Structure 1
Amino acid sequence: MKAFGWNMLLALFWVILSGNYNIGNLAAGMLLSYLVLAYVARDKPAFANYFGKLPKIISFILFFLWDLTKANARVAYDVLTPTHLMRPGVIAIPLDIKDEAGITMFANLITVTPGSLALDVSSDRKVLYVHLMYLDDEGRQLAELKALEARVLNLLR
């Protein structure tokens, strides 16, 4: 059984034994069982990848929430002020991600962020075209999008 399966099984035992059937208790059981498994299976190489994922996931979530907050603030400022600061444009991002799931995840994260929209992927899957509401400095924005791509790639490894 995979590490995640063991984690879920222990968390479900936690919920059943505690008698408190709610999402908060399941989350507490997941965290507790994660810590127990990390201690018990610390020398098993099959579990090493599973325990290395949680810090990556937390880091990615915090990074993306910060990016999302900045984008929301910028769009809200532009909507609430009488002058419009938009300089829309399309940018081509050379992709380092090769698999379809990674490209889809990257494109969806771009689309969810206010002020940007993933338009299309080239037929050879080497370039992603993105429409940006604020294309001020193409080099800086390309670097920011490549940083997001690098985090997605790191998360999927």
Structure 2
Amino acid sequence: MMRRLFPAPLLSLALVALWLILTNPYSVGNWLMAVVVGVAVPLLTQSLRPTPVRFSHPWVAFKLFMRVGRDVIEWNWRVLRGTLARGERMPRGAFITVPLDLRDPNGLAVLAAIMCVIPGTIWSEIALDRSALLVHIFDLDNAEHEIELIKSRYERPLMEIFE
């Protein structure tokens, strides 16, 4: 019974918390709406989740979260410097193809989110067989270096967490 009402309990808790954070006055109405959202959204989107999430290694997930936070701050500065640059120092944006070893759909979804959150990068396309990822980099100096950074910083930890 509980599993049918709460198919994704962590998602429900996260949605309730997010709703309460975004709607500041903690009135009874906001609490009720938070619970409705926390129960309804996972139920209505249950068919959209392709596989159950098997989440392991929370310490690796925490380190990945901190790494992404640090990279967001670092890339914000790189993008700011690039937008203010003139002449030879202008950024040279380009696409790179990252070969993927990660196959878990949930891990790929997290990788997509990471690539879209980090300023200066954007997830552009994934191969139909999920073997490669096309990413646009705002300022690309060395494609091989950027590919290795994506694989070591994001893909490998996600493989450890989800596979």
TM normalised by structure 1 equals: 0.62
Query: In the alignment, which residue of structure 2 is the partner of 1:154?
Result: 160
Segments of structure 2 that go 5 or more residues without pairing to the other structure are 1-8, 10-25, 27-53
- The superposition leaves residues 58-103 of structure 1 with CA deviations (integer Å, 9 ceiling, x where unpaired) of 2111111111111111001122344552111111111111122211
- Name the stretch that deviates more: 109-118 or 62-71: 62-71
Query: In the alignment, which residue of structure 1 is the partner of 2:81?
Result: 77
- The superposition leaves residues 35-55 of structure 1 with CA deviations (integer Å, 9 ceiling, x where unpaired) of xxxxxxxxxxxxxx98x7332
TM normalised by structure 2 equals: 0.60
Query: In the alignment, which residue of structure 2 is the partner of 1:18?
Result: none
C-alpha distance in structure 2 between counterparts of 1:69 and 1:110, whole Å: 14
Taking the TM superposition and a 5 Å limit, the aligned residue runs for 1:1-150 are 53-83=57-87, 85-147=90-152, 148-150=154-156
Q: Is the 8 A contact 1:89 1:132 kept in 2?
A: yes
Q: Is the 8 A contact 2:82 2:139 kept in 1?
A: no
Larger RCO (alpha carbons 8 Å, 6+ apart)? 2
How many residues are aligned here? 114
Segments of structure 1 that go 5 or more residues without pairing to the other structure are 6-21, 23-48
Question: Aligned letter for 2:75?
Answer: A
Q: What percentage of aligned pairs have identical amino acids?
A: 23
Question: Aligned letter for 2:84?
Answer: L
Determine helix, strand or coil for the equivalent of 1:129: strand
> How much is the aligned-residue C-alpha RMSD, in angstroms?
2.7
Q: Is the 8 A contact 1:90 1:130 kept in 2?
A: yes
